[in-house]
Amino acid sequence: MDSITVHGGHTLHGSIPVSGAKNSAIKLMAASILTDQPLLLTNMPRLADTNFLGRLLQQFGIAVTERDGADGQETLFDAREITSTFAPYDLVRQMRASFNVLGPLLARTGHAKVSLPGGCTIGARPVDLHIDALTRLGASIHLEEGYVSAMAPGGLRGAEIEFPFVSVGATEHTLMAATLARGTTVLKRAAREPEIGDLARCLVMMGARIEGIDTDTLVIEGVTSLNGGAWSVIPDRIEMGSYVCAAAMAGGEVRLTKGRADLIQSLTDRLVEAGVEITPTDDGVIVKRDPAVRLKAVDVATEVYPGFATDLQAQFMALMTTAEGVSVIHENIFENRFMHAPELMRLGADISVHAGEAHVTGVDQLKGAPVMATDLRASVSLVIAGLVAEGETSIGRVYHLDRGFERLEEKLGACGADIRRVKGPPVEGPGDDH
């Protein structure tokens, strides 16, 4: 498997373009199942996760064509004929979000058999909410030998569904299924992440009738069919926030382009408090920091959007490892999302973890060492730490990183980072989807 080596001590200067959002792209890809007309997605990231899902869509008979367009990378999906509604374990296990094909298949064809996604390295994320919501929409669902078999021969029907807690996946999944359900569906306590708004707006472009976008109550009036069209994937706020943290860690001046500053406001507010200079631009932000001036420790607590994103918690922890003082980080979304802490400690970080709380005492200097990525966001946190660590940091299992970051070494290297990939045999494993 590949590894990445970083030699620390280089400030960053230059520009980094932000890719399309992974967490939006994979749900928009699933939405292509809902229509028999072509759906063109532009600003598409090329990632392991989009590749996994593309292979699964092809299993259903959907033509998937990747190409370079006038505005960059794009993918055309043609689902005029669904030839299979079976999603095997070998494909679904590689990415939990693959389970979200169940609702669109059910809404479009009236039946589907989809593997349960299996375990998750960052905490329990059961699909009970998904199954319960589809049942409320009139589906008959049976669990057998690790598969969900769902039937709705007469089609789905609208219902009022109040989620017991905010769930991004369940909101997106139910939203897609409800677009083709007869009557009105009301989703209460819906998640409000920007990626959900992106999905909803794309569905409206396709002919869906949705009200309450960007609020915690979505009202969907079912239609008999959806059309195709073209849609540009929203900028990836997690990738953008990760590079903001990288620039703040290494020092220098970096301009993030093709992004949106408003999507990472909760992060940039904390960074300004820590001593980083953040300047919003028309298409991103400029990050500036004098490496001779030490950052100040800042506390954060992860929350559902628009609060501090759990997907940026590991990156922020890496930033705090050399800040002056003690930072307290509360993880309120996933119960097992501090697995990067022991790896940061191998680099000399002073971190103590108690349940959902981590105390990070800033040290004067990190030192390079071999470390191991444990999940997608943990992998990039180790890259960020390696940017200032003395000597060489070697990061293993970076197939996690490839699931959510496009051309990371190229983007950081263009700004002056001493970073390179060491090639190894390919690895395909279960993903954490974040």
In terms of domains, do 12 and 58 share one?
A: no
Among residues 120, 202, 245, 415, the one annotated as catalytic is 120
What pLDDT is recorded for position 424? 83
Q: Name beta bridge partners: 301.
A: 330
Tokens of 405: 């970051």
Write out the binding residues for UDP-N-acetyl-alpha-D-glucosamine: 96, 125-129, 311, 333
Structure confidence at residue 426 as a pLDDT band (50, 70, 90): low
User: What is the pLDDT averaged over residues 59-74?
Assistant: 95
Quickly list DSSP for 205-254. HTT-EEE-TTSSEEEEE--S-B--EEEEPPB-HHHHHHHHHHHHHH-EEE
**Is position 428 within any domain?**
no
Give percent of the chain with pLDDT exceeding 70: 96
CA proximity to 209, closest of 198, 195, 219: 219
What pLDDT is recorded for position 372? 94
Contacts for 353 with CB less than 8 Å, ≥ 6 apart: 338, 341, 359
The span from the CA of 239 to the CA of 363, in Å, is 26
In terms of domains, do 193 and 55 share one?
A: yes
In terms of domains, do 185 and 41 share one?
A: yes
Which of the listed residues 180, 205, 232 is the one where a domain comes to its end?
232
**Is position 122 within any domain?**
yes
**Is position 430 within any domain?**
no
Q: What CATH number should be reported for the domain holding residue 61?
A: 3.65.10.10
Write out the binding residues for phosphoenolpyruvate: 22-23
**Which tens digits make up the pLDDT trace of 357-377?**
999 999 999 999 999 998 887
Residue 39 has pLDDT above 80, yes or no: yes
What pLDDT is recorded for position 434? 58
Residue 120 appears among annotated catalytic residues: yes
What pLDDT is recorded for position 376? 80
The span from the CA of 350 to the CA of 366, in Å, is 10
**Is position 8 within any domain?**
yes
In terms of domains, do 80 and 210 share one?
A: yes
Residue 293 has pLDDT above 60, yes or no: yes
CB 373 within 8 A of CB 397: yes
Q: Which amino acid is at 21?
A: A
**Which tens digits make up the pLDDT trace of 83-133?**
999 999 998 988 888 999 999 999 999 999 999 986 444 344 578 999 999
In terms of domains, do 181 and 292 share one?
A: no
Q: Name beta bridge partners: 40.
A: 76, 230
**Is position 172 within any domain?**
yes
Give the domain range for residue 52.
22-232
What pLDDT is recorded for position 97? 87
In terms of domains, do 244 and 206 share one?
A: no
**Which tens digits make up the pLDDT trace of 215-241?**
999 999 999 999 999 999 999 999 999
Tokens of 210: 């949705």
User: What is the pLDDT averaged over residues 332-348?
Assistant: 92
In terms of domains, do 92 and 228 share one?
A: yes
In terms of domains, do 96 and 152 share one?
A: yes
Contacts for 312 with CB less than 8 Å, ≥ 6 apart: 238, 241, 242, 245, 264, 267, 377
**Is position 200 within any domain?**
yes
In terms of domains, do 162 and 259 share one?
A: no
User: How many domains, in total, are found in the chain?
Assistant: 2
Give percent of the chain with pLDDT exceeding 90: 88
What pLDDT is recorded for position 335? 75
In terms of domains, do 332 and 401 share one?
A: yes
**Is position 429 within any domain?**
no
The span from the CA of 142 to the CA of 243, in Å, is 44
Which of the listed residues 232, 259, 285 is the one where a domain comes to its end?
232
In terms of domains, do 194 and 219 share one?
A: yes
Spell out a b/e string for 351-383, using b for 16 or more CB atoms within 10 Å of the CB, else e. Answer: bebeebebbbbbeeebebbebbbbbbbbbbbbb
**Is position 280 within any domain?**
yes
Which of the listed residues 183, 202, 232 is the one where a domain comes to its end?
232
The CB density around residue 83, as the number of other CB atoms within 10 Å, is: 8
What pLDDT is recorded for position 1? 81
CB 387 within 8 A of CB 399: no
**Which tens digits make up the pLDDT trace of 378-387?**
889 999 999 9
Whole-model pTM above 0.85?
yes
Residue 432 has pLDDT above 60, yes or no: no
In terms of domains, do 160 and 69 share one?
A: yes
User: What is the pLDDT averaged over residues 177-183?
Assistant: 98
CA proximity to 20, closest of 202, 191, 212: 202
What pLDDT is recorded for position 123? 43
What pLDDT is recorded for position 299? 98
What pLDDT is recorded for position 121? 42
Contacts for 126 with CB less than 8 Å, ≥ 6 apart: none
What pLDDT is recorded for position 120? 44
